[in-house]
Structure 1
């Protein structure tokens, strides 16, 4: 699993193995957020197995599945709340990390911490294509800070 540090609180990643989840607590991570729906791919460990591995590692665990079609303000707000409530570093994961970073970026734009016009460059700086986040903003929040 490749962790991409976004800031002092959040890192995003692709799908971790159960062994990698077990090691997150030793790295100082306090919370794991899984943004993948169960059954998205046949070889996923699944929510129950991830939650058990996270508990064993001493991590809080949140399953907040999203897809492009299901992404809305409720999911963005839930993600922001989980990150804000974490007592320390958070790792959020999906298939590649893009979905998790998209949730973070959309929340940052909607609450004024990031300018909409800076989204693509922010993604590029971290190695992600956030054109989907821009498309979401165009469709759902056209008046978001530019």
Structure 2
């Protein structure tokens, strides 16, 4: 599992396995968020199997699939209250972690300066500087 901490409330990761769920629980995560649709690519674990592992491990489970490369304002509108209200810390995953980071960044831009959002994402290994215009929209 390739955990990338954005801040104390959320970390992101590329695709996790069923076995990774118990490790996430041991590491203290309280909620797992899946932003990847089932069957996006051959061989990926089924979300129902990861959900079951999350529930067995006592974790909250949120399935919020978002199409890669097509994050809409509606997706951000759904993500923002979910991440605000989720039991923390949260582990969000998708294929590479980028989708989760973008969703977080666009929702965080509603309450944090864009420079802080970009810096947190950069520290986690994601360059989201190209999102500046969309973050400015979210702040407005």
TM-score (norm 2): 0.86
Across the aligned residues of Structure 1 and Structure 2, the Cα RMSD in angstroms comes to 2.2
Match of 1:48 in 2: 48
> 1:57 Cα deviation (Å)?
0.9
Change in Cα spacing, 1:23 to 1:122, as seen in structure 2 (3 Å) is: closer
Size of the alignment, in residue pairs? 140
SS in 2 for 1:41: coil
Aligned: 1:78 with 2:78? yes
Match of 1:113 in 2: 112
Q: Which runs of no fewer than 5 residues in structure 1 stay unpaired?
A: none
Contact 2:32 2:92 in 1 (8 A): yes
Contact 2:35 2:93 in 1 (8 A): yes
Distance in 1 between the 2:60 and 2:83 partners? Answer: 11
> 1:44 Cα deviation (Å)?
1.1
Contact 2:106 2:138 in 1 (8 A): no
